[in-house]
Every structure is written in structure tokens, then in C-alpha cells.
Amino acid sequence: MLKMFDLSGKRALVTGSSTGIGFALARGLAAAGATVVLNGRNEARLAEAVERLRAEGLSVDAMSFDVTSPSSVSAAIETIEREHGPIDILVNNAGMQRRAPLDQFSHEQWQELMRTNVDSVFLVGQAVARFMITRGAGKIVNICSVQSELGRPDIAAYTATKGAVKMLTKGMAIDWGKHGIQVNGLGPGYFKTELTEALVNNETFSAWLVGRTPSRRWGDVEDLVGAAIFLTSSASNFVNGHILYVDGGVTATL
């Protein structure tokens, strides 16, 4: 039975995987047997991530490209398919956060969030899916968020982007399911990463969050790995258009 979770022989692309959740997911998929192509715009940071994973004996490569640029995405995906091999698994992880009261949120900030969090999922997802369609198989996981369901003060724009990713995930599953492709979302709750360090260190917020979370703790990035392996392996062959929240129960309670 455990063979259905084995990713040996599969090739995965994980966007935004130099650090944080993306790095943890890349490491987890590689440990499950996949050859993983890491992506990021900072080439030095990307090279460091590859070196760390190779030192652990994992099979990884790197491809630095801008996930918000149609031409860059198209060229990069064609290069990976031609020079590295077919992309069997795509994890659309690249994303960002901007905090401000909505009435003070600039149009430039709005556009930046939309390009990074939504356009990238469309662009990379479409480019990879075109190859998957010809092969009649593929796994796509889009990183959503508890903010795909719930709001918080000063992050209305971010919530809008993650709600859009949730519905885009469902749309992808509907359009591409007939081609043997499963498209699902992975929705992290509050996790300890470089991007949330200020919140983790904020005693008031951290106490509120832990009290609000049934599991009574922050998430560790390793908590996401099992769900990612499930959604990218044959174990989830009849799971399509689903958002799997890994949030310690935050979305289950008021």
C-alpha cells in the first residue's frame, strides 16, 4: 500500500522554493523519491538551497525564472521539458504578502499581489498543463491558505488573491480532469517561516493564535509534507478540485 505514496521516477517543479514552505515541500517530495526542480528569482539563494538538498543526498536541480512573466515562464517550462525531462508534478507555491488597511492599499500593491499570487498560478499552471495534456497525466498542487476561507484585518487584498487561487484550482480541475490531470489546493494555516517571524515573536498575536487553534501551536513547515506527498502521488488519483487545509483546525472553529 505504501507504494502509492512513492514518487520515484517522477519529476516535480516547485515554484518559490528557495526558502520557507516551498523549500520544505521540495525537500519532502525529493525525500519521497522525486527529482525536484527548485525555482526562485534570487539565483544565489536558489543555488544555496540546491546545495543544501544535494548535501542530504537528494536529487534536485534549479531553474531561476520570473513566475509573473509570460515569456519567462514559457521559455523556462520548455527548457525543463527539453533538457531535464517531463514535469509530472507542479507545485505552485510562489507568493507574497502585503499588509495595510484596505482604504490605504495602493493600486500598485494590489497589482503586485495579484501578479505574484494569482497570475503566477495561471501562467505556470497553463504552461505545464499543456505538456501534461499531451501525456494524459499530471499532478498540480496550488498553495492556497486559510485566507482562502477566512479574513483578518489589513490583509483584504491577500485574502482576495488566495480566494482566487482556490477557485482557479477548481476551474483547472474541471477543465483538465478529462486529460488525466488532478489539480488540488494545499491550504496552510499559520506556520513558522522567515516571513512570519515577526508574528511568531509578537507575544500578543502568538498567544491569540495558539488559543484560537485547536492544536494549540503554530505549524512547522514539515507538517505540510505528508499532505503534499498525498496530493502529488497516485494515492490521490481520484481527488480533484479539493482544497486540503493543514491548519491545526483553524478553519473548523470560530
Under 8 Å between Cβ of 105 and 28: no
What's the distance, CA 114 to chain centroid? Answer: 15
Under 8 Å between Cβ of 58 and 34: no
| Catalytic hit among 23, 122, 158, 191 | 158
Under 8 Å between Cβ of 52 and 63: no
**Nearest to 146, CA basis, from 196, 73, 100:** 196
Give catalytic status of residue 158 as yes or no. Answer: yes
List Cβ neighbours of 248 (8 Å cut-off, separation of 6 or more): 189, 190, 213, 214, 215, 216, 217, 219
Under 8 Å between Cβ of 251 and 223: no
- Residues belonging to the active site: 158
